[in-house]
Amino acid sequence: MRAEDFLEHSKWIDGPEFLYDSENKWPKLGVKYDSLPVADAEIKKDVTVNAVVEEAKNPTSFFISYFSSWMKLKTSVAWVLKLKELLLQLSQKRKEFSDMMHESAEDANIKEQKVLQKMQQFKTMLKIQCLTSEDLTAAEHFIILFEQHHRFEPEISALRANKTVSKDSQLYRLDPVIDDGVLRVGGRLKRAAMPFEIKHPVILCKNMHVATLILRYIHHLLGHAGRSHMLSRLRRKYWIISANSAARKILSDCVTCRRNRGKLLEQKMADLPQERKQDLYLKRRWKQVQYMAELFWKRWITEYLPLLHERQKWMRQKRNISPGDIVLIADATAPRGCWQMGRVLAVKADGGGLVRSVQLQTKTSVLERPVTKLCLLLEASAD
């Protein structure tokens, strides 16, 4: 641009004329600054990096956590211990045969062949191995020892040094003692005419995988009994810290118990339709409550107040059922044991995002049912 043109155009010096007016008179541009193209080269892209840090597991801990059954875990550990014993026995025999052949003046290759022949003969003499009750008891003892040393190492070290357990320890109130390497509950029942395991049960923590397996095993052994029966049977041999909450967790996760005693699903009440300004039923019910309160207030408190508390459960939002959940379909014409199971295929939510009905895949067909006719058996996995 030439200097003459620059001087002739005052816009370069004074600026646009609309800046001298109020802002409401400024021209409007049709540019949306809040929506930018994704492929814009001038926009810096955000990079998100997720890192998962996993603590390295001890091989024995990994082996124990692999099992979901207490009996299968004990059986597997029993076979491992039996294999260990057998390998030690073979190693000892091989050493004996080698010592016997060491005094001979024969060639080293001939000695090795004779040792191998003797070992082969010894292996053929071994009987077929099978597990006994003593093997299972030894396996259980090994599992308990490992779990306790992994979880209660400071307490065990203090007791072996003839010291008392720290007051900050969760075992302090149990007066723990060590018997054959196992940490047990102490107390004043040493002279009681009771079995030793009942007087001094083995101490475990509810966070241990073994404690979960034992509670699950007792629950199945008692035919899916209640919490009190489970704890009574548990304390004949084990004392699990905070066993009450652990047993409640086992009951809540048991699919069989959900199938037999689970409650039907509930959800927060939906909004009234526009045509219904008032719920006639609630209005009529409220008049009855007022009438009863005026005449028989004591009876109203004991009989009708619990009914009002029951209605409060419809005022809270519950977990939405999601695709992949396994549910039991309620049928008023059939006993509970004959109710069908189904998997949720799709859900239908209202304007507030609350699921009201679902589409189910049963063994024979695809159905649609409201959530109030379903009993949740198993939640879909997070994966």
Q: How far is CA 94 from the centre of its chain?
A: 48
13 domain-assigned? no
Q: What is the pLDDT of residue 118?
A: 80
Give me the residue label for tokens 């039996």.
82
**8 Å CB contact between 115 and 101:** yes
Are residues 112 and 80 part of one domain? yes
- pLDDT tens digits along 262-298: 888 888 877 766 655 555 566 666 777 676 667 666 6
Are residues 235 and 151 part of one domain? yes
Are residues 196 and 112 part of one domain? no
231 domain-assigned? yes
Are residues 223 and 142 part of one domain? yes
Q: Check pLDDT > 60 for residue 300.
A: no
Residue count of the chain, please give it: 383
Average pLDDT over residues 100-115: 75
The domain that contains 344 carries what CATH number?
Answer: 2.30.30.60
Q: What domain range is 226 assigned to?
A: 134-261
Q: Check pLDDT > 70 for residue 36.
A: no
- pLDDT tens digits along 123-175: 777 777 788 999 999 999 999 999 999 899 999 999 999 888 888 888 888 88
Report the C-alpha gap between 54 and 381 in whole angstroms. Answer: 20
Q: What is the pLDDT of residue 304?
A: 54
Report the C-alpha gap between 239 and 191 in whole angstroms. Answer: 20
Are residues 206 and 154 part of one domain? yes
Count how many domains the chain has.
Answer: 3
277 domain-assigned? no
Taking the model in full, what pTM does it have? Answer: 0.67
Are residues 196 and 89 part of one domain? no
Average pLDDT over residues 232-258: 92
